[in-house]
């Protein structure tokens, strides 16, 4: 039985105006369907529109035209309060910048994502510790971000994004600040989490080495999205 689509876009566009006549089509007429539980990787060079597309999918930005349907909800019909609910309850984000709170330990950073949810402190700690263990950081739970390597900090960011059990996880260059070996470790942790929990993952990147971790790969250039076989992707995206 084929999984239902959890993300759908139709003719989605984001246009930035330059002066009186110029424009940049950051996202240009994108039609996208993502099945629930899929691990999708979108590969493209810097400036191709990947981050803009991700922000539109997660409700961080509004499109110029077209629409996004997320878990059955048309984002164009949502007010700001509804969008806050979407971002809090249905979507988890992992950014290239780890965005950890420097004065909090790893487990406290993860626990902070559970603050809006009415559960006991013990349950918050149990969930947070469980996800740190899931990404291989159980032994580093009480360390501050400055005491963690870049790869470990990104693992904390991944655990924080997953802890609310969002239906969809959006990752913007999740390996961008990492060396190749560490980047592969992060992708392995994401792949395992996706396999174990069944959450939908959409990652955008310029790193070709993430391809083996994906169920499906799309290619983005100049704001347009293409379905391509991995072996046909341009040489600039070959494995590093």
With 0-12 / 13-18 / 19 or more C-beta atoms within 10 angstroms meaning exposed / middle / buried, residue 122 is exposed
Beta-carbon contacts of 162 under 8 Å, excluding residues fewer than 6 positions away, are 92, 131, 134, 169, 193, 197, 199
pLDDT band at 115 (very low <50, low <70, confident <90, very high): confident
Residue 125 has pLDDT above 80, yes or no: yes
What pLDDT is recorded for position 27?
94
- Contact predicate 16/26, CB 8 Å: yes
What pLDDT is recorded for position 37?
92
Phi/psi of residue 150, nearest 5 degrees: -60, -40
Residue 175 CA to residue 240 CA, distance in Å, equals 12
The residue among 104 and 120 whose pLDDT is bigger is 104
For the entire predicted model, the pTM comes to: 0.84
Residue ranges covered by each domain of the chain:
5-229
Mean pLDDT throughout 25-39?
94
151-200 pLDDT tens trace: 889 889 888 988 888 889 999 988 877 788 888 888 887 888 788 778 89
Class at the top of the CATH hierarchy for domain 5-229: alpha beta
pLDDT band at 65 (very low <50, low <70, confident <90, very high): very high
What pLDDT is recorded for position 232?
58
b/e string for 193-215 if b means 16 or more Cβ within 10 A?
Answer: bbeeeebbbbbbbbbbbbbebbe
DSSP string, 46-111: TTSSHHHHHHHHTTSS--SEEEEEETTEEGGG--HHHHHHHHHHTEEEE-SS----TTS-HHHHHH
- Contact predicate 86/70, CB 8 Å: yes
109: number of Cβ within 10 Å: 26
């Amino acid at each position: 039985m084929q999984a239902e689509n959890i993300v759908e876009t139709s003719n989605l566009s984001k246009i930035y105006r330059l002066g009186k006549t110029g424009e940049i089509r950051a996202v240009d007429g994108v039609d996208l369907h993502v099945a629930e539980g899929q691990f999708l990787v979108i590969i493209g060079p810097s400036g191709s529109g990947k981050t803009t597309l991700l922000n539109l999918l997660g409700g961080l930005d509004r499109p110029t035209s077209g629409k996004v349907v997320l878990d059955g909800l048309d984002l164009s019909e949502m007010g700001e309060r509804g969008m806050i609910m979407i971002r809090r309850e249905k979507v988890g984000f992992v950014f290239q910048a780890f965005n950890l709170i420097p004065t909090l330990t790893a487990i406290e950073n993860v626990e902070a994502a559970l603050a809006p949810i009415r559960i006991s402190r013990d349950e918050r700690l149990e969930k947070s510790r469980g996800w740190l263990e899931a990404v291989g950081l159980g032994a580093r739970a009480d360390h501050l971000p400055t005491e963690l390597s870049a790869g470990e900090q990104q693992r904390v960011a991944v655990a924080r994004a997953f802890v609310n059990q969002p239906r969809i996880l959006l990752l913007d260059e999740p390996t961008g600040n990492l060396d190749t070996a560490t980047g592969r470790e992060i992708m392995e942790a994401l792949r395992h989490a996706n396999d174990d929990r069944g959450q939908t993952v959409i990652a955008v990147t310029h790193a070709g080495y993430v391809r083996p971790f994906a169920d499906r790969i799309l290619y983005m250039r100049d704001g347009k999205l293409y379905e391509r076989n991995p072996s046909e992707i341009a040489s600039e995206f070959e494995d590093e």
